[in-house]
Amino acid sequence: MLTENLATLFERDILKLKAEISLYTDEALLWETLPGTSNSGGNLCLHLLGNLQYYIGAVLGGSRYVRNRPEEFNSKNLPLVDIRQQLDQVAVLIPKTLRSLSAETLETEYPEKVFDYPMTTQYFMIHLLAHFDYHLGQINYHRRLVSNS
């Protein structure tokens, strides 16, 4: 049951991210950083894509994705079409991977050490959803500020 709920929530929020990225009035605004901030909406989006593709797609789903976290924050002016393509792939990969997990897998320790303490896979998936939504909110706020809307 929890795997289905997680898959449904990630599906919903990845669609929200796709919609949010599409609402930027100018592709260049996606990469603009605001005074007092260090990340653009584009970099936050790349960070979310890397995060999900690695922690869910690769670690739990065996996708062989190799993460380059610094590049998520250093890349600039990637074409919107490339970001949309990644979003489309993640929108399929993440729910599919989550739905493939058993209840027993969720109760086992997450296979990779992420924090300074052990945690169940279930705990980490809930953390990843909260992390995703935190940055989704930042992207929404960034877009409204740079677009003056």
- Structural domain boundaries enclosing 25: 2-146
Predicted confidence at residue 149, as pLDDT, reads 58
- Across the chain, mean pLDDT equals 96
Give the C-alpha separation, 36 to 28, whole Å.
Answer: 19
Largest CA distance in the chain: 48
Q: How far apart are the first and last CA of the chain?
A: 39
Phi then psi for 120, rounded to 5 degrees?
Answer: -75, 160
Contact 109, 14 (CB under 8 A): no
Q: What percent of the chain has pLDDT over 90?
A: 97
Q: Specify the number of domains making up the chain.
A: 1
Instruction: Render pLDDT for 20-32 as a digit per residue (tens, 0 to 9).
Output: 999 998 999 999 9
Token pair belonging to 56: 């869910």
Predicted confidence at residue 71, as pLDDT, reads 95
Predicted confidence at residue 130, as pLDDT, reads 98
Instruction: Render pLDDT for 53-74 as a digit per residue (tens, 0 to 9).
Output: 999 999 999 999 999 999 999 9
Gyration radius of the chain over CA positions: 16
Beta-carbon contacts of 124 under 8 Å, excluding residues fewer than 6 positions away, are 55, 110, 114
Instruction: Render pLDDT for 77-103 as a digit per residue (tens, 0 to 9).
Output: 999 999 999 999 999 999 999 999 999
Predicted confidence at residue 25, as pLDDT, reads 85
Residues in the chain: 149
CATH, residue 65: 1.20.120.450
CA-wise closest residue to 45 among 11, 87, 8, 85:
87
Instruction: Render pLDDT for 31-47 as a digit per residue (tens, 0 to 9).
Output: 999 999 999 999 999 99
Give strand pairing partners of 120.
109
At residue 148 the predicted structure's pLDDT band, cuts being 50, 70 and 90, is confident
